[in-house]
Amino acid sequence: MNKTRKHIIDKWIVQYYDAVLGMALRLTGNRDDAEDCAQDVFVRAWRKFDSFRGDSHPMAWLKTITYNICYNHLNRNKSKAWNEMDENQHYDIPVPEDQKRGFDPSLLKLLSPGEKAVLLARIYDGLSFREVAECLNTTENSAKVSYHNAIKKLRKAMS
């Protein structure tokens, strides 16, 4: 079992690390923090492997772990997250103005950790309200409120 688990997690690192890091980057807005979180995701997956339901997609499980770890990280570092971030610092890839389509990553600074996590989880990573609520240790209703608040803030900022 231990050997099997080890091989599976190693494969997941190869297959899913980039997607996990991408999620963590969007959530934390900071490369170093994102890499720390991504590392923690696979360590937790290894430790909690017994709770993985084999009939679900590994990435679905890793998503929930990623959101939980990043959200906790954001709450611990509220004053730091995103404030240090220059909007395209992630990959040092300049984004042409005509490709931004009205959205600027720095707008995510307007959102609380919960609002940002729910928004990204819902519209980008396809998590349900129930899944997001579990990741954030909150209720489905609270997740919905955070989601609609986030939309309202961004609509106002982008209008």
Partner 1 sequence: MTCKDIRDLLPEIINNPGKYPEAEAHLQSCADCREEFAFLQELREGIRVTLPDPDPLETAIPKLKTVRRLRWERSRRPVFAAVSLAAVMALTLILPGVFTTDDLQFYADYDTETEKVLSSIDMEEGWQISTDEIAMYLLENADMETIKELGLENYQVQS
Q: Where does this chain bind partner 1 (CB under 8 A)?
A: 2-3, 6-7, 9-11, 13-14, 17-19, 21-22, 25-26, 35, 38-39, 42-43, 46-47, 87-88, 90-91, 95, 99-105, 120, 122-124, 126, 128-129, 144, 147-148, 151, 154-155, 158
Q: Answer yes or no: are the C-beta atoms of 38 and 52 closer than 8 Å.
A: no
C-beta closer to partner 1: residue 35 or 134: 35
Place of tokens 């360590």: 43
Nearest approach, Cβ of 14 to partner 1 (angstroms)? 5
DSSP state of 109: G
Intra-chain end-to-end CA distance of the chain, in Å? 54
| Min CB(10)–partner 1 separation in Å | 4
Integer CA distances (angstroms), 149 to 50, 53, 95, 106, in order: 36, 33, 27, 17
Query: Closest approach of Cβ 55 to partner 1, in Å?
Result: 20
Q: State whether residue 119 is helix, strand or coil.
A: helix
Sequence length of the chain is 159
Q: How far is the CB of 137 from partner 1 (least distance, A)?
A: 20
DSSP 128: -
